[in-house]
Structure 1
Amino acid sequence: MESEEDLSGLPSSAIEGAAHAAEEKELSGKWRFTLDYPSYIPFVQYADNRELRETMWRAFANRAYGDQYDNCDNIFKIVNLKHERANLLGYQNHAEYVLERRMAETPETVFGFLDKLKTAYKPAAEQDLKALKDFAQEQGLEGDLKPWDIAYYAEKLKQKLFNFSSEDFRPYLPLDKVLKGCFEHFEKLFNVEFRANSDYETWHEDVQSFEVFSKEDQSFIGTLYADFFPRTGKKQGAWMTSYREQGLFNGKIERPVIAIVCNFSKPTPGKPALLTHEEVTTLFHEMGHAMHGMLSNVTYRSLAGTSVLWDFVELPSQLQENWCYEKETLDMFAGHYETGDKIPEDLIQKLKDSIHFMVGWGGLRQISLGTLDMTWHTTEPSTIKDVAAFEDDAIKDCTLFPRLAGPVSSSFSHIFAGGYSAGYYSYKWAEVLDADTFELFLEKGLYNQDAAKAYRTEILERGGSEQPNILYKNFRGRDADPDALLRREGLLDKDKNAA
């Protein structure tokens, strides 16, 4: 981009990041926005220029569709091969094959789970959309609300309702302080200690390395790498990778080597890397995975840490996101990068007040993705002729907008390139578990040592050495309450049960 007028509405952090990205490509004096999340999301969220928002949205939605990188043939090959393997092994479809080794056990259970949540989310999503349309009209929107308007007007409506912007948090969330506070959180919760150690060789100069020790006896727990910034050749998103699992090797127990990988906006000249609150929850999420691996205490590597049934693996990660909304935790690290002032209490309260904002819209989106995944992996592939048409039919009851660009499937890397085929539902499945678990910490205390020790001993240390439903019952004293998630999201009264 060459015109400053096109930058209207964008926060300074996004503009500075785009200028820095342009300079890296020898485009000094211009602004370079990309489809990387740290660049794309602020653009569609804040840019006043509707035509440019549409351009960015369509480019993002059309990834790997309709050009030389079109993934449709690859999708057909992947789905056919998975279906063929399942048939050879005696299963009707890939989902049946996968779910035999999941808590859910059958495709019918998963579809039933998604349908139950859909009955709660869809009416709420319709209300969210109506409120957004009404607000956009009040703001002078001409014509119908389009998909490239959703994030933009949602941010403005949130600012009106709760009197704060997502960008208000950035000055109080410098990455270095957040990371230090994140470590302090886990130290307080699990009685461990993180120590920086630059002696480890890394794969890029941006990568940091740490050692983790037990505070109780100073025993070595494991090695942690942190890779936070985008670069050429690095994929988008955030994830945890285990390079060596805890477990027995050559007659002795070896400790794990783990990395957390994110894509946060890089520091710019004169300003450190500043995070949004959403990015803080991402960091805590991936650290939840990392601690699952770090605190593993099993004999065999194949059962260590995150080597659990797939619909259980997100519990330790998603659980940690809950602490990011609590003042006691935020006070550990949230301070202004220039003045050092603590984050204002009223800003924290506004954040908590906004937790239920657009929860129906976001929930229905996740249900649509879970439904799409399950439909791909329960359908006879020979009956599928067109990716886009198949997707439209699969999620017709879970969407409130007609498709205006390429199908999600063409870039749905979770289920076609990652490990979530017939497993995307597990995010919501784990949310039920994490909501029920966090209710215990809210009841006993955020850093209650009895609750933390029970969680560490019965969940984190055990890895995949026992069935998850047994581990959870040992920890909680009962099965998870499926209504805990709806209570947390304000879709069910706390003193009532769902019908």
Structure 2
Amino acid sequence: MSYLRAILRHNPLLISRTALIVPKRNTGFIVLVPEIGEEDCAAITNNNDLPEFNNFTIEKCISAVGNQGLEVEKSLKNLEKMLTSKTEIKDLFSEVLDPLEKLTTPIENTWGLAKTLYLGNSTLMPTKSYLTIHDRACRVRAAKFNSLPIYNAIKNDNKEYKDEQQKRLIHKYLLEARLNGIEIEGTSKYQLNEALVKLSEIRAKYHNNVEAARRAFMQNCDDQKIIKELPISLLSAMSVDPKAPPKKGPWKLTLQPFIVKSFLEHCPDHNARWNLWQADVRKCSRQSDKQFDNSVFLEEIRYARRQQATILGYENFMHMSMETKMAGSVENVKNTLARLYENARPALETEMANLQTYAEKDGFHKSLEIQDIDYYRRKQLIDLFDFNEEVIREYFPLNKVFKNLLKLSESLFNIKIVERPSANRWHEDVKFYDVFDLSGNAKEPVGGFYVDLYAREVEKTVGLNSGWMVKMRNKSELTNTKPITAIIFNFKQIPDKSVLLSVNEVQQLFSKFGLTLQNLLCNSKYNELSGSSNVEWDAVEIVGNVMSNLLYDEKILKLITTHYSNDDPLPDKYVTAFMKNRRHLAGYNLCRQLYFSELDINFNTTTHFWWDIVKELYPKYHTVPLDKKDSHPCSFTPISSGEWGGAYYSFVWSELIAADVYSAFWEARNTENEENFREVANRFRSTFLTYGGTLNTSEVFRRFRGRDPSPKALIKVLGLETKTEIKK
């Protein structure tokens, strides 16, 4: 069950329902609850009415999936018989693809509902129940894409299609089927299935070890010299008693990512920082508790991926991965990363030299080690730019920021967002909003979204500081289905106090809302192409990143910020600090991302032992030496147990594309003509928000920018063009 959480946390493809399907040894399905009637299923499967959560039960949802799955499989068999007996298909869409869309939409909608409740209210959708629904829906999806008669009908269709969406849908069916091995026969087919099953099992073991190692480490933290430096949010996470006031204690350090990151940023004691850091980077290796050792599993994962790629006819796993990427080729990825490195490395050296000087002036008379960097960068940021995050938080009260985000979106994208208080919800904290398109028929909403922002310790499986945009229902013209999404966060409420957001949390909120707009405003005929569905992996986060970039427009920043107590605007000195924060240690940040990207590439293109790869790459991207016992790849879940193996570069790639998109907004703003800025916003809506997965992202970008993307914008945004010594 913990493995499922890992997959959901790191896998946008499960959220968009476009993941490749791992074969199961047992493909049967047993409904363990009494069957229910079609009338009871209607609240779950209706294309346009909202779910009736007050009448929702786990039994209804599981039974609905069971009934829907059986109906799909029965109809698929009939379709396959028809295709096998026919010598010619006159119209591929009316005879095959359109019926498939109508057939599978209900179970996709039920799956989306179950996923939302799993993340938003696990008392209504416990993990075990969600696993049942998830596995059943996955098998149905596999049946659609792994059908040889359907594949042959599409492959042998010689008709020329001018409709972009039809061409895109055909390409999707053929590619997913090929990557699932539909053209592989005999022994190779068996070997592929065995490799995929083995890969799934090893990744589960790898991830479970990481979770177990995190739980196993626990250390008292009662040094008041340290405690007094820690922010309330960290003390709350460290508190042994979650119901007690954060400052009361007692407190324990664990290896949960938020605690490790925040502690290294705020702990004033070098030895205490080192102790937590070394425990974190050595976990799941032979340098730590051997019962959680992942070093062998890491190599087995790499081997299974090589085997999978080889059987499918690819040079290696990385080359296979490129089939679903905007970048197109490993060579293009490497060249782009190399171009960024040319600017990032000199900046890194300047930044680290300046940080060392700063630390020495602050009384630290040693060479900075990797665990010291986050602490002194935070202090340097305060001294250089007066960037005090705890003070700046006061100008980001959640309720006001979200309200202003809705107003901003209405203004930029010509829409109207209206709360529907009567909508049935899964918790009283949840709100539902209808979205109206003012450029079209504004009488009926084009879709809607739920918002569930607050932490509920018992109910919600969303991790601290994590956020989700969940597609509950995709748009489909064929089935007359309107899209619904859910934005789910886990912001902690304190009684009688406003929830104040960090800069990162505001960026996350903007990002998830951008993805929501993409899914609601996409003009798609087909469920499979709607919104972020079928968007290339390395392009999935582009829209969200563009929305986050808009925060660095001073007019927009001032528009969405206000002090929680008196509505005072964000002072100019904090506006300046906010802008400069982005460029502070930008070379260091980018080099870290480039390091993990190249590590992933090397893991999936070479057979060298993982530690040898680390030793070769680490000095290239770091100025501090590599600790001999640093075993971070043994617990780096995104590229091993998560879905970013062969795709980790996507984080840098999507930032690069988003920066280039945002540069159009920046250029328009510099003309000091508000109409120019709105024209760019309208163009962004008519391309990135409208096309979604109906068109390849390279072409979407060209239609927006009139050219191919370039790294220049990201280099400029991060201030890496001519980075020199930082002066106060």
- Quick check: TM above 0.5? yes
2:715 aligned to which of 477, 486, 489 = 486
Deviates more, 1:179-188 or 1:236-245: 236-245
1:497 corresponds to: none
Change (3 A) 1:388 1:253: farther
1:281 is the counterpart of 2:507: yes
Cα 1:415/1:339, change in 2 over 3 Å: same
- SS of match in other structure, 2:469: strand
Q: Secondary structure at the match of 1:464?
A: helix
How many matched pairs? 485
Task: Report the equivalent of 1:323.
Answer: 550
Shift of 1:185: 2.1
Confirm whether residue 310 of structure 1 aligns to residue 537 of structure 2: yes
Q: Do 1:359 and 1:489's aligned partners in 2 also have CA atoms closer than 8 Å?
A: yes
Partner residue, 1:123: 346
Determine which of 515, 522, 525 is the counterpart of 1:299.
Answer: 525
* 1:252 aligns to 2:475 (yes or no): no
Determine whether 1:367 maps to 2:594: yes
Tell me the SS of whatever aligns to 1:247. Answer: coil
Residues 88/450 of structure 1: CA separation in 2 closer, same or farther (3 Å cut)? same
Is 2:432 the counterpart of 1:210?
A: yes
Give the distance between the partners of 2:398 and 2:254, measured in 1 at CA.
22
1:449 aligned to 2:678?
yes
Equivalent residue letter for 1:422: G
Distance change >3 Å, CA 263–CA 142, structure 1 → 2 = farther
Q: Which residue of the partner structure matches residue 498 of structure 2?
A: 272
Query: Does 1:243 pair with 2:472?
Result: yes
Normalising by the residue count of structure 1, what TM-score does the alignment of the two structures yield?
0.88
Matched, 1:419 2:667: no
Partner of 2:516: 290
Q: Measured at CA, do residues 69 and 305 of structure 1 come closer, stay the same or move farther in structure 2, by a change above 3 Å?
A: farther
1:318/1:180 CA distance change after superposition, 3 Å: same
2:316 aligned with 1:93 = yes
Tell me how far apart the structure 2 counterparts of residues 25 and 413 of structure 1 sit (CA, whole Å). Answer: 33
Relative to structure 1, is the Cα distance of residues 230 and 77 closer, same or farther in structure 2, using a 3 angstrom cutoff? farther
Q: Deviations over 1:173-208 (max 9, x none)?
A: 122222222222222222231526474443xx5863
Residue 299 of structure 2 aligns to a residue whose secondary structure is helix
Return the letter of the residue paired with 2:654: A
For residues 292-316 of structure 1, what are the alpha-carbon distances to aligned partners after superposition, in whole Å with 9 as ceiling and x for unaligned? 2222211112111112112222210
Q: 1:245 to 1:83 in 2, by over 3 A?
A: farther
For 2:265, the equivalent position in structure 1 comes to 45
CA–CA separation in structure 1 for the residues paired with 2:488 and 2:259: 17
Residue 219 (structure 1) aligned to one of 434, 438, 444: 444
Shift of 1:11: 3.2
**Structure 2 residue matching 1:332: 3-state secondary structure:** helix
Distance 1:26 1:206, change over 3 A: farther
Q: TM-score, normalised by structure 2?
A: 0.62
Determine which of 580, 602, 607 is the counterpart of 1:353.
580
* Counterpart among 56, 67, 82 of residue 276 in structure 2: 56
294-303 vs 224-233, which moves further: 224-233
The CA distance in 2 between the partners of 1:322 and 1:346, in whole Å, is: 20
User: Conserved in 2, the CA contact under 8 Å of 1:388 and 1:406?
Assistant: no
* Residues 60/184 of structure 1: CA separation in 2 closer, same or farther (3 Å cut): farther
Conservation of the 8 A alpha-carbon contact between 2:423 and 2:432: no
User: 2:326 is paired with a residue of what secondary structure?
Assistant: coil
Shift of 1:157: 0.9
CA 1:55–1:298 in structure 2 vs 1: closer, same or farther (change >3 Å)? same
8 Å CA contact retained: 1:247, 1:253: yes
Cα 1:186–1:379 change in 2 (3 A) is same
**Counterpart residue number, 2:654:** 430
Alignment CA distance shift 1:16-1:423 (3 Å): closer
Distance change >3 Å, CA 168–CA 35, structure 1 → 2 = farther
Q: Please tell me whether the aligned partners of residues 267 and 274 of structure 1 are also in contact (alpha carbons under 8 angstroms).
A: no
Q: State the one-letter code of the partner of 2:701.
A: Y
- Unaligned 5+ residue runs, structure 1? 495-499
Deviation, 1:141, is 0.9
Higher helix share: 2
Please say which of residues 45-54 and 207-216 is displaced more in the overlay: 207-216
Alpha carbons of structure 1 residues 194 and 151: separation in structure 2 relative to 1, 3 Å: farther
Counterpart Cα distance in 2 of 1:257 and 1:389: 47
Match of 1:223, SS state, is strand
> Could you tell me whether the CA contact under 8 Å between 1:8 and 1:48 is conserved in 2?
no
**Higher Rg of the two aligned structures:** 2
Note the 1:73-88 alignment, pairs <5 A. Answer: 73-88=296-311
Given the alignment of the two structures, is residue 468 of structure 1 paired with residue 697 of structure 2, yes or no? Answer: yes
